Amino acid sequence: MSPSEIPLTIEQQFRVERACRKIDECNDVDALKQLSKALIVTAARERAFSRVVMERLNG
C-alpha cells in the first residue's frame, strides 16, 4: 500500500486543505523555503518511525 492510498480522516483533510491555502497565499520565498525544509525533515522522521515500528513488530 502506497502512502497516497492511506485514507485521511475528515479532520486531516481539512487541515491539509487549510495548509495548502495558506501556502497558495504566501509570497514570501524564504518562508516557503523554511516550510519545505521542515516538511522534508518531518517526512523523513515519519518514515524512520514507521520503519522502527515495523522492525519491532517483526521481532
What is the C-alpha to C-alpha distance for residues 9 and 30, in angstroms, rounded to an integer? 31
Contact criterion met (CB below 8 Å) for 40 and 48: no
Q: Could you report the per-residue pLDDT of 29-49, keeping only the tens digit for each?
A: 999 999 999 999 999 999 999
Which grid coordinates are listed for 47? 518514515
Using only C-alpha atoms, the chain has a radius of gyration, in whole angstroms, of: 15
pLDDT at 10 over 80: yes
pTM: 0.71
Name the nearest CA neighbour of 6 among 34, 46, 57, 37. 46
